Amino acid sequence: MTTSPLAELSAHAASLLARIDEVTTLAELTQQEPHIVGKRSILSALQKSLGGLAPEERKAAGAQLQEVRRRIDEAFAARRGVLEALARAQALEADRLDLGDVVVTQVRVPLAAGHPGIVAATQRQLEDVFVAMGFVVADGPEVESDWYNFEALNIPPAHPARGMWDTFYVDLGEPETVVLRTHTSPTQIHLMERAVLEGALPIHSVMPGRCYRRDTPDARHLAAFHQIEGLVVDRGIAFADLAGVIETFTHAYFGPDISSRLRPAYFPFTEPSAEFEITCTICRGQGCRTCSQTGWIELGGCGMLDPAVLEAVGVDGDEWSGFAFGFGIDRCAQMRHQIADMRALIDNDVRFLRQFS
């Protein structure tokens, strides 16, 4: 019986493990790598020597060797992890800076203007117009329950009207109960609920904010976008008031030569409902490609609050009536600045950002 090439395998293994433990720096570890786990290691040499064995013997010996190899590889990797963590800790320690000792007057920074985001800047302009018209500005959350985003707005579960919005659902609660808001309208519901609770009607508010729709981004759409929503609940409010507010806003924001018109439309939360269109800002109503030769471009939706919505939030429809409207902030920015591709808004390319002030 010949001596197995693996007779001293466990001794070799012990020696390799000891060698690994002796290494104290990453550089040394890298240097030792071929000798411990690489081609020049004793294990590689043993592997080659297995060629001379009979097939069954070779199989058994191979498995034995493989097991040792695995242990050595593991120990090596573990050692590398330890040394890397050590090296990082040392580097961080060497880098330590007590920020309490920073002498602020000695810090010199380049003097250069920054730039506001175009969406934020547009939102501010819109808010200013509405504040001047007597509106209070309100905020609302981006994650909503389906009650606020849909059902209180007269869009019951499984109703086909829910298909009007491509909704991102959040993995919380029962399926389809938590959503990224698809419009700013849920903030209307919050405002009305609160006002009813506090006896604080009437409401004259606008609600800007970020919304989400499950839409593959292209030159005209982003999956995240910004809307501004308006809500008036007061005594004696009629469709004529809605049309008047839309017209006043249009003149104030777009200029005196741009006017508005309303066209029948369907939104579950308003009745009567309308799309509102404004004079095409490109051709000033003459007809061009942007407005498909009509002289008008669509800006948003609006309408009188549906009695079902008032009922959902507990507003007495015999005493109070109201209207709501909403449109895209990004779309206003796109129109005003002629942004050819909306994706530029989320690219954060400095060459784009620095054009706005």
Partner 1 sequence: MKIPLSWLTEFVDLPESVAQLTGILDDLGLVVEGVENVGEGLEDVVVARIDAIRAIEGADRVRLVTVDAGHGPLEIVCGATNFAVGNHVPLAPVGAVLPGGFEIAARKMRGVTSNGMLCSARELGLSDDHEGLYLLDDVIAPEVGQPLLGALGVARDVVLDISVEGNRPDAWSVLGVARDLATRLGRPLRDPALAVPDATEDSSSFAAARIDDPDLCGRLTVSVLRHVVVGPSPAHLARRLTLAGMRPISNVVDASNLVMLELGQPTHPYDAAHVAGRALRARRARIGEVLTTLDGVVRVLAQPGRGLGDTGEDCVIVDGDDRVLGLAGIMGGAASEISATTTDVLLEAAFFDPMTIARSSKRHALRSEASNRFERGVDPELALTAVGRFVALLRESNPDVVWMAAPLDVAGVVAPAPTVTLRDGDLARALGVDLDPADVRAILEGLRFQVSGDGPWRVTAPSARLDVRTGAAGRADVIEEIARLYGYSRLPRRTPAWSAPGALSDRQRIRRRLRDAMVDLGVHESWTPTLGSDDDFDLLAPEQPRVRITNPLAAEESVMRSSLLVGLVRAWARNAERGLGDVMLGELGNVFLHPDVAAAPRRTRGGVRGAVSLALPQENERFSVVMGRVGDDARTAVATWAALAGRLGIHDVVVRSFDDVPRGLHPTRTAHLIERGTNRRVGFVGEVDPALVDALAAAAPRRRLGVLDLDLDVLVDLALDAEADQFVTVPSRYPAAIVDLAFVVAQEVHAVDLAEVLMAASEFVEDVTLFDVYRGEHVPAGARSLAYNVRFSSATTTMSEADVARARDALIDAARALGAELRS
In the range 225-264, which residues lie near partner 1 by CB under 8 A?
Answer: 232, 234, 236-241, 243-245, 247-248, 261-264
Smallest distance from the beta carbon of 39 to partner 1, in angstroms? 29
Contact 313, 307 (CB under 8 A): no
Cβ closer to partner 1: 245 or 324?
245
346 binds partner 1 (CB under 8 A): yes
Q: Give CA–CA dist 178/143, Å, rounded.
A: 7
Residues 168-227 that bind partner 1 (CB under 8 A): 168-178, 180, 202, 204, 210, 212, 214, 216, 223-224
Q: Site mask, partner 1, residues 270-309, x = CB under 8 A? A: -xxxx-----------------------------x-xxx-
Smallest distance from the beta carbon of 233 to partner 1, in angstroms? 11
Question: Any residues with CB less than 8 A from the CB of 71 and at least 6 apart, and which?
Answer: 13, 17
Element (H, E) at 228: strand 224-234
Q: Tokens in use for 61?
A: 């010996």
Residues 78-117 that bind partner 1 (CB under 8 A): 88, 92-93, 95-107, 109-117
Q: Give CA–CA dist 132/128, Å, rounded.
A: 6
1 binds partner 1 (CB under 8 A): no
SS3 98: coil
Cβ closer to partner 1: 12 or 226?
226
Smallest distance from the beta carbon of 94 to partner 1, in angstroms? 9
Concatenated DSSP letters of 75-90: HHHHHHHHHHHHHHHH
SS3 271: strand
Name beta bridge partners: 232: 204, 323
SS3 147: helix
Residues 129-168 that bind partner 1 (CB under 8 A): 130-139, 141-148, 151-152, 156-161, 163-164, 168
Smallest distance from the beta carbon of 80 to partner 1, in angstroms? 16
Cβ closer to partner 1: 62 or 272?
272
269 binds partner 1 (CB under 8 A): no
Q: Site mask, partner 1, residues 14-53, x = CB under 8 A? A: ----------------------------------------
Classify strands 143-145 and 224-234 as parallel, antiparallel or unpaired: unpaired
Q: Count of CB atoms within 10 A of residue 18's CB?
A: 9
Contact 228, 246 (CB under 8 A): no
Torsion on CA atoms 36, 42, 44, 46, rounded to nearest 10: -150
Q: How many residues bind partner 1 (CB under 8 A)?
A: 117
Cβ closer to partner 1: 69 or 190?
190
Instruction: Identify the residue among 127, 201, 282, 287 touching partner 1 (CB under 8 A).
Output: 127
